[in-house]
Amino acid sequence: MIRRRLGQSDLELPVIVLGAWAIGGWQWGGSDDEAAVRAIQAGIDAGMNAVDTAPVYGFGHSEEVVGRAIAGRRKDVLLLTKVGLRWDDPRGEFYFKSQDQNGKPREIWRNAKPDSVVVEVEQSLARMRTNHIDLVQIHWPDPTTPIEETMGALAGLVKQGKVRAIGVSNFNPAQLKEAQLALAPLPLASNQPKYSLVARDIEARILPFSRELGIGTIVYSPLEQGLLSGKVPAARTFPETDGRHKRATFQAPVRARVNALLEQEVRPIAQRHKATLAQTVLAWTTGQPGVTCAIAGARTPEQARENAGAGSLVLSGEELATIRLAFERLDLSGTR
Ligand SMILES: NC(=O)c1ccc[n+]([C@@H]2O[C@H](COP(=O)([O-])OP(=O)(O)OC[C@H]3O[C@@H](n4cnc5c(N)ncnc54)[C@H](OP(=O)(O)O)[C@@H]3O)[C@@H](O)[C@H]2O)c1
């Protein structure tokens, strides 16, 4: 597993991080806790010893499952979680309505108030049964709370030894700059934006800006929720409680086009490396300038092991370019 330093922090992350959103069940049509625990453990055994979760993933459930999975091996694992999306403290900016994995109505608020983030970190520590979190990230910007105030509270948690490093997620360049200035002399370790072969918006401004500022980038949804694994046939159906049921990139004609492209253009490169399509797509993602690591979600040990295998795969410049060009030709009309 290749490892990289995260921005100016002292965290060394595996290039493939295990994503624990789906493990919470919410927006993913439920989940199987036993399989999830085994998936996390299989990932750690394969060198993917960092897990990204959030309080809102399953309304605490994902963090609890992560806590179960790492019991007895905390020192071998890096825990990345978030603050700033509350369902139990309706202050800040209303974000959206949802139903939890048990069908209970929930309202999500962007709330990064200083007292709220302190409470959230305490709750995350308890759910994951640990005394420190390696990276705490502000999940989404809260326009009602000055970034400086949130950062002041998080810096206090670093001083207390409860948090090792601070990052953000879904921040634009101006917000990144503000966050970095507010935290100094502590480094802003990272931003966590969405990025994949079918969602390359951050290449224009956010990635170059983060590189210039020395901020690490941990990208999410690199497999476009499984689509880019080549294992989602056009015929597969998703329950209404799975966000992919309505997701534009999961429309059957798009899936068919993506699968054909993966077979024609990516399969020969994968075969050359004795790798799978998912591994090759993940290696493409972590091979892009400015990307520190990619968070791949997994719900089964097989997926976790496969994704971890991408962490030692390095594609040549020519292979990276071939895959990029192929996806630039992909017709994604109607999906945005
Ligand atoms: N900061 C944010 O706002 C934000 C937003 C989204 C995600 N994230 C983070 O990023 C992580 C990853 O993003 P994501 O879950 O959206 O997308 P992803 O990693 O692109 O896709 C994960 C899903 O793809 C399928 N999959 C994964 N590996 C596979 C494999 N080897 N073969 C076949 N299918 C495979 C699984 O779906 P099935 O088992 O259901 O088929 C899995 O649940 C999340 O868990 C979360 O930690 C953060």
- pLDDT for 234 equals 82
For residue 223, report the distance from its CA to the centre of ligand 1, in Å.
7
- Name which of 249, 204, 223 is nearest 16 in CA terms: 223
Rounded average pLDDT over 12-39: 92
Annotated active-site residue 57? The verdict is: yes
Amino acid at residue number 157: L
Pick from 219, 223, 249 the residue to mutate for probing ligand 1's pocket: most ligand atoms within 8 Å of its CB. 223
- For the CA of 169, the closest atom of ligand 1 is 1
Specify whether the CB–CB gap between 46 and 305 falls below 8 A: yes
Residues 6+ apart with CB under 8 A from 12: 3, 4, 5, 6
Which residue of the set 57, 95, 195, 220 is catalytic?
57
Residues 6+ apart with CB under 8 A from 149: 113, 114
Quick check: 336 pLDDT over 70? no
Tell me the pLDDT tens digit for each residue of 205-264: 999 999 999 999 999 999 999 999 999 888 888 888 888 888 888 888 889 999 999 999
Residue ranges of the domains in the chain? 3-328
Record the tokens describing residue 5, joined without a space: 């330093």
For residue 196, report the distance from its CA to the centre of ligand 1, in Å.
11
- For the CA of 306, the closest atom of ligand 1 is 31
State the pLDDT confidence band at 305, using cuts at 50, 70 and 90: very high
The three-state (H, E, C) secondary structure of the chain, written as one string: CCEEECCCCCCEEECEEEECCHHHCCCECCCCHHHHHHHHHHHHHCCCCEEECCCCCCCCHHHHHHHHHHCCCHHHCEEEEEECEECCCCCCEEEEEEECCCCCEEEEEECCCHHHHHHHHHHHHHHCCCCCEEEEEECCCCCCCCHHHHHHHHHHHHHCCCEEEEEEECCCHHHHHHHHHHHCCCCEEEEECECECCECHHHCCHHHHHHHHCCEEEEECCCCCCHHHCCCCCCCCCCCCEHHHCCHHHCHHHHHHHHHHHHHHHHHHHHHCCCCHHHHHHHHHHCCCCCCEEEEECCCHHHHHHHHHHHHCCCCHHHHHHHHHHHHCCCCCCCC
Record the tokens describing residue 162, joined without a space: 């409860």
Q: What percent of the chain has pLDDT over 90?
A: 87
**Ligand 1 pocket list (CB less than 6 A):** 19-22, 52, 139, 169-170, 192, 220-226, 229, 231, 278, 295-299, 303, 306-307
How far apart are alpha carbons 202 and 224 in whole angstroms? 15
- For the CA of 21, the closest atom of ligand 1 is 45
State the pLDDT confidence band at 311, using cuts at 50, 70 and 90: very high
Tell me the pLDDT tens digit for each residue of 154-205: 999 999 999 999 999 999 999 999 999 999 999 999 999 999 999 999 999 9
Record the tokens describing residue 309, joined without a space: 């295998």
For residue 319, report the distance from its CA to the centre of ligand 1, in Å.
24
For residue 28, report the distance from its CA to the centre of ligand 1, in Å.
10
Residue nearest to atom 13 of ligand 1 (CA): 221
Quick check: 334 pLDDT over 60? no
For residue 21, report the distance from its CA to the centre of ligand 1, in Å.
7
Residue nearest to atom 39 of ligand 1 (CA): 299
**CATH code assigned to 3-328:** 3.20.20.100
Residue nearest to atom 47 of ligand 1 (CA): 19
CA 8 to chain centre: 20
For residue 299, report the distance from its CA to the centre of ligand 1, in Å.
9
- pLDDT for 335 equals 61
Pick from 110, 295, 306 the residue to mutate for probing ligand 1's pocket: most ligand atoms within 8 Å of its CB. 295
175-194 as b/e: b if 16+ CB within 10 A? bbbbbbebbeebbbbbbbbe
> Global pTM?
0.97
Residue nearest to atom 14 of ligand 1 (CA): 221
